[in-house]
Structure 1
Amino acid sequence: MIKGIHHVGITCRDMDRMIQFYREAFGFELRECFEWHDSEAFDRIINVSGSAARAVMMQAGHCCVELFEYTAPPPETDGPLRPQDRGYTHFCVEVTDIDAEYERLKGIGMQFGKHAPVEIGGSKALYGRDPEGNIIEILQMATREADG
Protein backbone atom coordinates (compact mmCIF):
# COMPACT_ATOMS: atom_id res chain seq x y z
CA MET A 1 0.00 0.00 0.00
CA ILE A 2 1.33 3.44 -0.93
CA LYS A 3 1.23 5.84 2.04
CA GLY A 4 2.28 8.99 0.19
CA ILE A 5 5.31 10.97 -0.90
CA HIS A 6 7.91 10.96 1.87
CA HIS A 7 10.36 13.59 0.55
CA VAL A 8 11.84 15.29 -2.51
CA GLY A 9 15.59 14.98 -3.07
CA ILE A 10 17.66 17.87 -4.41
CA THR A 11 21.33 17.63 -5.35
CA CYS A 12 23.32 20.79 -4.73
CA ARG A 13 26.84 22.16 -5.03
CA ASP A 14 26.92 24.10 -1.72
CA MET A 15 25.08 22.28 1.07
CA ASP A 16 25.57 24.96 3.72
CA ARG A 17 24.15 27.67 1.46
CA MET A 18 21.17 25.49 0.57
CA ILE A 19 20.43 24.64 4.21
CA GLN A 20 20.43 28.32 5.06
CA PHE A 21 18.21 29.13 2.07
CA TYR A 22 15.60 26.47 2.89
CA ARG A 23 15.58 27.59 6.53
CA GLU A 24 15.11 31.24 5.67
CA ALA A 25 12.86 30.88 2.64
CA PHE A 26 10.47 28.19 3.85
CA GLY A 27 11.13 27.53 7.52
CA PHE A 28 12.68 24.10 7.04
CA GLU A 29 14.57 22.73 10.05
CA LEU A 30 17.25 20.06 10.09
CA ARG A 31 15.86 16.68 11.04
CA GLU A 32 18.75 14.39 10.14
CA CYS A 33 22.32 14.68 8.82
CA PHE A 34 24.34 11.83 7.35
CA GLU A 35 27.14 11.11 4.92
CA TRP A 36 28.67 8.15 3.19
CA HIS A 37 31.67 7.01 1.17
CA ASP A 38 32.83 3.50 0.33
CA SER A 39 29.35 2.23 1.26
CA GLU A 40 28.11 -0.79 -0.63
CA ALA A 41 24.63 -0.30 0.83
CA PHE A 42 24.27 3.30 -0.41
CA ASP A 43 25.80 2.41 -3.79
CA ARG A 44 23.20 -0.34 -4.11
CA ILE A 45 20.27 1.87 -3.05
CA ILE A 46 21.06 4.65 -5.54
CA ASN A 47 22.55 2.31 -8.17
CA VAL A 48 25.79 4.37 -8.49
CA SER A 49 29.17 2.73 -7.86
CA GLY A 50 31.74 4.64 -5.84
CA SER A 51 29.30 7.26 -4.56
CA ALA A 52 30.18 9.64 -1.74
CA ALA A 53 28.06 12.44 -0.36
CA ARG A 54 26.77 14.27 2.64
CA ALA A 55 23.07 14.73 3.03
CA VAL A 56 20.47 16.32 5.25
CA MET A 57 16.77 15.78 5.73
CA MET A 58 14.88 18.99 6.44
CA GLN A 59 11.25 19.31 7.47
CA ALA A 60 8.61 22.04 7.50
CA GLY A 61 5.26 20.79 8.73
CA HIS A 62 4.57 17.51 6.90
CA CYS A 63 6.87 18.41 3.99
CA CYS A 64 10.44 17.09 3.78
CA VAL A 65 13.31 17.84 1.42
CA GLU A 66 16.52 15.84 1.32
CA LEU A 67 19.59 17.76 0.17
CA PHE A 68 22.61 15.94 -1.25
CA GLU A 69 26.11 17.26 -1.88
CA TYR A 70 28.00 14.55 -3.80
CA THR A 71 31.78 14.39 -3.81
CA ALA A 72 31.84 11.30 -6.05
CA PRO A 73 31.28 10.55 -8.80
CA PRO A 74 31.69 13.94 -10.46
CA PRO A 75 28.60 15.49 -12.10
CA GLU A 76 28.26 15.55 -15.87
CA THR A 77 27.64 19.31 -15.76
CA ASP A 78 28.51 21.97 -13.22
CA GLY A 79 26.23 24.67 -14.64
CA PRO A 80 22.87 25.67 -13.21
CA LEU A 81 19.89 23.78 -14.55
CA ARG A 82 17.41 25.49 -16.87
CA PRO A 83 13.63 25.01 -16.57
CA GLN A 84 13.67 22.41 -19.35
CA ASP A 85 16.53 20.46 -17.72
CA ARG A 86 15.99 17.85 -15.08
CA GLY A 87 16.23 19.49 -11.69
CA TYR A 88 14.97 17.33 -8.85
CA THR A 89 16.98 14.15 -8.50
CA HIS A 90 14.14 12.03 -7.14
CA PHE A 91 11.03 11.86 -5.07
CA CYS A 92 10.40 9.18 -2.49
CA VAL A 93 7.25 7.18 -1.91
CA GLU A 94 6.84 5.62 1.52
CA VAL A 95 5.34 2.12 1.48
CA THR A 96 4.27 -0.41 4.09
CA ASP A 97 5.68 -3.53 2.31
CA ILE A 98 8.65 -2.64 0.10
CA ASP A 99 9.21 -6.16 -1.20
CA ALA A 100 5.63 -6.45 -2.47
CA GLU A 101 5.73 -2.93 -3.95
CA TYR A 102 9.09 -3.65 -5.62
CA GLU A 103 7.56 -6.64 -7.43
CA ARG A 104 4.35 -4.76 -8.29
CA LEU A 105 6.23 -1.73 -9.63
CA LYS A 106 8.56 -3.92 -11.72
CA GLY A 107 5.45 -5.56 -13.14
CA ILE A 108 4.08 -2.24 -14.39
CA GLY A 109 7.32 -1.12 -16.00
CA MET A 110 9.36 0.65 -13.33
CA GLN A 111 13.01 -0.15 -13.95
CA PHE A 112 15.45 -0.93 -11.15
CA GLY A 113 19.18 -1.60 -11.16
CA LYS A 114 20.44 -5.09 -10.46
CA HIS A 115 19.56 -4.96 -6.75
CA ALA A 116 16.46 -5.65 -4.70
CA PRO A 117 15.50 -3.31 -1.80
CA VAL A 118 18.38 -2.73 0.60
CA GLU A 119 18.09 -2.65 4.39
CA ILE A 120 19.92 0.17 6.14
CA GLY A 121 19.37 1.20 9.74
CA GLY A 122 16.19 -0.87 10.05
CA SER A 123 14.61 0.82 7.01
CA LYS A 124 14.65 -0.54 3.45
CA ALA A 125 15.05 1.53 0.28
CA LEU A 126 15.82 1.39 -3.43
CA TYR A 127 15.93 3.80 -6.35
CA GLY A 128 14.15 2.99 -9.60
CA ARG A 129 13.19 4.86 -12.76
CA ASP A 130 9.83 5.71 -14.27
CA PRO A 131 9.27 5.14 -18.01
CA GLU A 132 11.01 8.43 -18.88
CA GLY A 133 13.99 7.74 -16.63
CA ASN A 134 13.06 9.96 -13.66
CA ILE A 135 14.30 8.56 -10.37
CA ILE A 136 11.79 7.46 -7.72
CA GLU A 137 12.83 6.02 -4.38
CA ILE A 138 10.68 3.50 -2.60
CA LEU A 139 11.13 3.48 1.18
CA GLN A 140 9.85 1.37 4.02
CA MET A 141 10.69 3.15 7.26
CA ALA A 142 11.79 1.18 10.31
CA THR A 143 8.85 0.28 12.50
CA ARG A 144 8.53 2.49 15.54
CA GLU A 145 6.76 1.31 18.69
CA ALA A 146 4.18 4.13 18.28
CA ASP A 147 3.32 2.79 14.80
CA GLY A 148 2.24 -0.52 16.25
Structure 2
Amino acid sequence: MITALHHIGISVADLDCSIAFYRDLLGMKLSSQHPFGGARFEQIFRLEGAKGRAAHLHGGGTEVELFEFTHPRPQTADPKRPVNAHGITHFCIEVADLRGLHLRMSEAGVDFHCPPIDFDICEATYCRDPDGNVIELIEMYELQD
Protein backbone atom coordinates (compact mmCIF):
# COMPACT_ATOMS: atom_id res chain seq x y z
CA MET A 1 0.00 0.00 0.00
CA ILE A 2 1.43 3.37 -1.01
CA THR A 3 1.37 5.98 1.75
CA ALA A 4 3.15 8.84 -0.05
CA LEU A 5 5.58 9.80 -2.78
CA HIS A 6 8.71 10.22 -0.65
CA HIS A 7 11.24 11.84 -2.99
CA ILE A 8 12.50 12.21 -6.54
CA GLY A 9 16.06 11.02 -7.27
CA ILE A 10 18.04 12.65 -10.06
CA SER A 11 21.52 11.83 -11.36
CA VAL A 12 23.30 15.13 -12.10
CA ALA A 13 26.52 16.12 -13.83
CA ASP A 14 27.48 18.87 -11.34
CA LEU A 15 26.08 18.61 -7.81
CA ASP A 16 26.93 22.19 -6.85
CA CYS A 17 25.27 23.60 -9.98
CA SER A 18 22.14 21.51 -9.37
CA ILE A 19 21.98 22.49 -5.70
CA ALA A 20 22.10 26.14 -6.78
CA PHE A 21 19.22 25.56 -9.23
CA TYR A 22 16.92 23.79 -6.77
CA ARG A 23 17.87 25.93 -3.76
CA ASP A 24 18.46 29.40 -5.18
CA LEU A 25 15.95 29.44 -8.06
CA LEU A 26 13.17 27.14 -6.82
CA GLY A 27 13.58 28.04 -3.15
CA MET A 28 14.11 24.54 -1.80
CA LYS A 29 16.09 24.06 1.42
CA LEU A 30 19.29 22.00 1.42
CA SER A 31 18.86 19.47 4.24
CA SER A 32 21.98 17.35 3.73
CA GLN A 33 25.00 16.84 1.52
CA HIS A 34 27.32 13.84 1.82
CA PRO A 35 29.57 11.39 -0.02
CA PHE A 36 28.21 7.94 -0.84
CA GLY A 37 29.81 4.61 -1.66
CA GLY A 38 30.24 1.06 -0.47
CA ALA A 39 28.42 -2.26 -0.67
CA ARG A 40 24.93 -0.96 0.16
CA PHE A 41 25.08 1.64 -2.61
CA GLU A 42 26.49 -0.89 -5.08
CA GLN A 43 23.54 -3.16 -4.28
CA ILE A 44 20.73 -0.64 -4.41
CA PHE A 45 22.05 1.08 -7.57
CA ARG A 46 23.19 -2.24 -9.10
CA LEU A 47 26.45 -0.48 -10.04
CA GLU A 48 29.80 -2.02 -9.16
CA GLY A 49 32.00 0.47 -7.31
CA ALA A 50 29.25 3.10 -7.07
CA LYS A 51 30.45 6.25 -5.36
CA GLY A 52 30.05 9.99 -5.50
CA ARG A 53 28.27 12.81 -3.69
CA ALA A 54 24.60 13.27 -2.84
CA ALA A 55 22.36 16.06 -1.58
CA HIS A 56 18.78 16.26 -0.30
CA LEU A 57 16.61 19.33 -0.77
CA HIS A 58 13.03 19.87 0.32
CA GLY A 59 10.24 22.41 0.06
CA GLY A 60 6.46 22.42 0.10
CA GLY A 61 6.21 18.71 0.78
CA THR A 62 8.54 17.82 -2.12
CA GLU A 63 11.96 16.24 -1.62
CA VAL A 64 14.61 15.97 -4.33
CA GLU A 65 17.65 13.71 -3.94
CA LEU A 66 20.58 14.58 -6.21
CA PHE A 67 23.41 12.17 -7.06
CA GLU A 68 26.71 13.11 -8.69
CA PHE A 69 28.44 9.84 -9.60
CA THR A 70 32.24 9.79 -9.73
CA HIS A 71 32.24 6.02 -10.41
CA PRO A 72 31.21 4.45 -12.65
CA ARG A 73 31.31 7.42 -15.01
CA PRO A 74 27.74 8.05 -16.20
CA GLN A 75 26.61 8.34 -19.77
CA THR A 76 25.50 11.85 -20.66
CA ALA A 77 21.78 12.14 -21.42
CA ASP A 78 20.52 14.41 -24.19
CA PRO A 79 19.63 17.64 -22.31
CA LYS A 80 17.02 18.45 -24.97
CA ARG A 81 15.37 15.01 -25.07
CA PRO A 82 11.70 15.34 -25.98
CA VAL A 83 9.04 14.74 -23.35
CA ASN A 84 7.56 11.91 -25.43
CA ALA A 85 10.70 9.75 -24.95
CA HIS A 86 9.97 6.65 -22.87
CA GLY A 87 10.69 6.92 -19.17
CA ILE A 88 9.95 9.64 -16.68
CA THR A 89 9.12 12.72 -18.73
CA HIS A 90 8.75 15.29 -15.95
CA PHE A 91 7.82 15.92 -12.37
CA CYS A 92 5.55 18.72 -11.19
CA ILE A 93 6.05 21.22 -8.38
CA GLU A 94 3.17 23.39 -7.21
CA VAL A 95 4.24 26.99 -6.66
CA ALA A 96 2.82 30.35 -5.64
CA ASP A 97 3.22 33.30 -8.02
CA LEU A 98 4.13 31.28 -11.11
CA ARG A 99 4.47 34.37 -13.30
CA GLY A 100 6.91 36.01 -10.88
CA LEU A 101 8.92 32.78 -10.57
CA HIS A 102 8.95 32.36 -14.36
CA LEU A 103 10.30 35.90 -14.79
CA ARG A 104 13.00 35.47 -12.12
CA MET A 105 14.11 32.08 -13.46
CA SER A 106 14.06 33.29 -17.09
CA GLU A 107 16.27 36.23 -16.13
CA ALA A 108 18.66 33.69 -14.54
CA GLY A 109 18.88 31.86 -17.89
CA VAL A 110 16.61 28.88 -17.16
CA ASP A 111 15.31 27.17 -20.32
CA PHE A 112 11.48 27.27 -20.41
CA HIS A 113 9.37 25.57 -23.08
CA CYS A 114 6.89 28.47 -22.95
CA PRO A 115 5.53 31.20 -20.69
CA PRO A 116 2.84 30.13 -18.17
CA ILE A 117 -0.28 28.86 -19.94
CA ASP A 118 -3.86 29.05 -18.60
CA PHE A 119 -5.47 25.58 -18.29
CA ASP A 120 -8.78 26.79 -16.70
CA ILE A 121 -8.03 25.34 -13.22
CA CYS A 122 -4.36 26.33 -13.16
CA GLU A 123 -1.46 27.98 -14.93
CA ALA A 124 1.50 25.80 -15.87
CA THR A 125 4.78 25.75 -17.74
CA TYR A 126 7.71 23.39 -18.25
CA CYS A 127 11.33 24.29 -17.58
CA ARG A 128 14.58 22.34 -17.60
CA ASP A 129 17.10 21.95 -14.81
CA PRO A 130 20.85 22.16 -15.55
CA ASP A 131 20.85 18.53 -16.80
CA GLY A 132 17.82 18.95 -19.05
CA ASN A 133 15.32 17.24 -16.72
CA VAL A 134 11.85 18.65 -17.28
CA ILE A 135 10.05 20.20 -14.34
CA GLU A 136 6.45 21.32 -14.59
CA LEU A 137 5.72 24.39 -12.48
CA ILE A 138 2.03 24.77 -11.69
CA GLU A 139 -0.06 27.32 -9.84
CA MET A 140 -3.55 26.09 -9.01
CA TYR A 141 -6.39 28.61 -9.09
CA GLU A 142 -8.65 28.99 -6.10
CA LEU A 143 -11.94 27.44 -7.10
CA GLN A 144 -15.05 29.51 -6.46
CA ASP A 145 -18.17 27.79 -5.08
TM-score normalised to structure 1 length? 0.52
Q: Which letter does structure 2 place at the counterpart of 1:25?
A: L
Number of equivalent positions = 88
Q: Is the 8 A contact 1:81 1:87 kept in 2?
A: no
The Cα offsets for residues 54-83 of structure 1, whole Å up to 9 and x where unpaired, read as 000100121100111000111223652512
Higher radius of gyration, 1 or 2: 2
Unaligned runs of 5+ in 2: 92-145
Matches within 5 A, 1:1-148: 1-37=1-37, 39-77=38-76, 79-83=78-82, 84-85=84-85
Question: Measured at CA, do residues 80 and 86 of structure 1 come closer, stay the same or move farther in structure 2, by a change above 3 Å?
Answer: farther
Q: Is the 8 A contact 1:7 1:64 kept in 2?
A: yes
Q: Which letter does structure 2 place at the counterpart of 1:50?
A: G
Question: Measured at CA, do residues 12 and 85 of structure 1 come closer, stay the same or move farther in structure 2, by a change above 3 Å?
Answer: farther
In structure 2, the partner of 1:139 is: none
The Cα offsets for residues 23-62 of structure 1, whole Å up to 9 and x where unpaired, read as 122111111222123x001111111111111000100121
Q: Which letter does structure 2 place at the counterpart of 1:58?
A: L
CA distance in 1, matches of 2:87, 2:27: 21
Give the C-alpha shift of residue 86 in structure 1.
6.4
Unaligned runs of 5+ in 1: 92-148
Which has the larger strand fraction?
1
TM-score normalised to structure 2 length? 0.53
* Runs of 4+, deviation exceeding 2 Å: 76-81, 83-88
Structure number with the bigger relative contact order (C-alpha 8 A, sep ≥ 6) is 1
- SS of 2:54's partner is strand
Q: Which letter does structure 1 place at the counterpart of 2:28?
A: F
The Cα offsets for residues 113-146 of structure 1, whole Å up to 9 and x where unpaired, read as xxxxxxxxxxxxxxxxxxxxxxxxxxxxxxxxxx
- SS of 2:24's partner is helix
